[in-house]
Structure 1
Amino acid sequence: MTTLDLTPDELLTTTRTVRKQLDLEKPVPLELIRECIEIALQGPSGSNRQTWHWLVITDRELRAQIGEYYRRAVARYLESSGAAGKLYADDPERGPIQRRIGNSVAYLGERMGQVPVLVIPCLQAKTLPAGNQAGLWGSILPSAWSYMLAARARGLGTAWTTLHLNYETEVAELLGLPADIRQSVLIPTAYTIGTDFKPAPRQPLDEVVHHDAW
């Protein structure tokens, strides 16, 4: 196992959503994906139930079909008022950043099916709670992030995407998922074109931290 020379803080702050810098041509060894998932399985799971399942899609035709569902979902999203490219359109600071994000979303939307590996972390749940679902999804989403961190450490790029869930039923049928298997995120995974990623702009700490009360 060879990993990048990153401190823990550098790994946490430079694991970015990668779209335009995914290498669509270079194959990714399945064993490397398995390494990342093995690390991800150390993530928290409610009551230690460990009801997670990980779909790893490398078949060219399956990737293409999932990519087509994702392309349709992205097209609908980009037309919506909440699309990244339209948020803060009049803000001189955040507007340009959001437009760049919108452009990169569109780029990946057209190429999701070409990414060498698609990973979908899932949970086994017969029913979804009607109210607070934090406990349920808290048993898989931290592990999904751990997978992305492990991938970054190994020179792989990933993106946190959920738009495929607009076609959750169709993707489940395509992949033959049992009725009680719930998809969470879709994580495209590929080697990156370059590895020098930077921390992203974020809100000032004092604007988001509330001590003892709001």
Structure 2
Amino acid sequence: MTILDLSPDELLTTTRTVRKRLDLQREVPIELVRECIAIALQGPSGSNRQTWHWMVVTDAGKRAAIGEYYRLAVERYLRGAGAAGKLFADDPVRGPVQRRIGNSVAYLGERMGQVPVLVIPCLEAKSLPAGNQAGLWGSILPSAWSYMLAARARGLGTAWTTLHLNHEREVADVLGLPEEIRQSVLIPTAYSIGTDFKPAPRQPLDEVVHLNAW
């Protein structure tokens, strides 16, 4: 196993959602995935309850079934007004970027079922609380991001997507999930084609930072 020579800041700023540069042909060793999850389990969870579970899907039939539900969700998403390719369509700076994202979303939508490993971090929750659910999902989403960081350091590409949740019940049936197991993000995992990822454009800091008051 090779660990990329990245500083902490480089790792944090170059771990990207990878769609078109996932190697769909190269097998990913399950032990490498387990190693990334072991690192992710160091992430925070409310009251240190650690009520997480990690679905790792390598079975070709189950990956194909999940991929088909994902494809349907992507098609619906791309038809909607909030699709990445339609956001900021008239903005000369962000418009081209969003169109590229829309194209890559469509690309992955057609190929999700071919990705060698699909990872779905889940939480135990018999019922979802009314109102703000930040406390609940804050116990799994940081660990999901830690998984992606660990994967990036090992030459793996990942993507952060939740579109499969439009078919959450169907995906749960494919995987035999109990009713109290709630899915969060879907993280396709494969070796990346190249490792030369760069920081993405972001809003100026002063537009998003509010000191002491809005």
What interval of TM-score do these two structures reach, taking the shorter chain for normalisation?
A: over 0.9
Q: In the alignment, which residue of structure 2 is the partner of 1:181?
A: 181
Q: In the alignment, which residue of structure 1 is the partner of 2:21?
A: 21
1:2 deviation in Å?
2.4
1:131-165 CA distance string (max 9 Å, x none): 11000000000000000000000000000000000
Q: In the alignment, which residue of structure 1 is the partner of 2:66?
A: 66
Q: Distance in 1 between matches of 2:43 and 2:80?
A: 34
Q: Distance in 1 between matches of 2:190 and 2:174?
A: 22
Q: Distance in 2 between matches of 1:94 and 1:119?
A: 30
1:175-206 CA distance string (max 9 Å, x none): 00001000001000000000000000000000
Q: Secondary structure at the match of 1:182?
A: strand
Q: In the alignment, which residue of structure 2 is the partner of 1:151?
A: 151
Q: Secondary structure at the match of 1:101?
A: helix
Q: Distance in 2 between matches of 1:190 and 1:174?
A: 21
Q: Secondary structure at the match of 1:157?
A: strand
Q: In the alignment, which residue of structure 2 is the partner of 1:6?
A: 6
After TM superposition, the structure 1 = structure 2 runs for residues 92-171 of structure 1, keeping only pairs within 5 Å, are 92-171=92-171
1:1-60 CA distance string (max 9 Å, x none): 421000000000000000000000000000000000000000000001000000000000
- Seq. identity, %: 84
Q: Which amino acid aligns with 2:135?
A: G
Q: Distance in 2 between matches of 1:157 and 1:129?
A: 33
Q: Which runs of 5+ in 1 are unaligned?
A: none
Q: Distance in 2 between matches of 1:93 and 1:45?
A: 38
Q: Distance in 2 between matches of 1:60 and 1:189?
A: 14
Q: Distance in 2 between matches of 1:187 and 1:60?
A: 16
Q: Which amino acid aligns with 1:23?
A: D
Q: Which runs of 5+ in 2 are unaligned?
A: none
Q: In the alignment, which residue of structure 1 is the partner of 2:201?
A: 201
TM-score, with normalisation over the residues of structure 1?
Answer: 0.99
Q: Which amino acid aligns with 2:130?
A: A
1:104 deviation in Å?
0.1
Q: In the alignment, which residue of structure 2 is the partner of 1:53?
A: 53
Q: Distance in 2 between matches of 1:173 and 1:130?
A: 25
Q: Distance in 1 between matches of 2:100 and 2:182?
A: 32
The answer to whether the aligner puts 1:35 opposite 2:31 as a matched pair is: no
Q: Secondary structure at the match of 1:168?
A: helix
TM-score, with normalisation over the residues of structure 2?
Answer: 0.99
Q: In the alignment, which residue of structure 1 is the partner of 2:210?
A: 210
Q: Distance in 2 between matches of 1:173 and 1:86?
A: 33
Aligned length in residues: 214
Q: In the alignment, which residue of structure 2 is the partner of 1:78?
A: 78
Q: Which amino acid aligns with 2:178?
A: P
1:67-94 CA distance string (max 9 Å, x none): 0000000000000000000000001000
Q: Distance in 2 between matches of 1:67 and 1:158?
A: 15
Q: Secondary structure at the match of 1:84?
A: coil
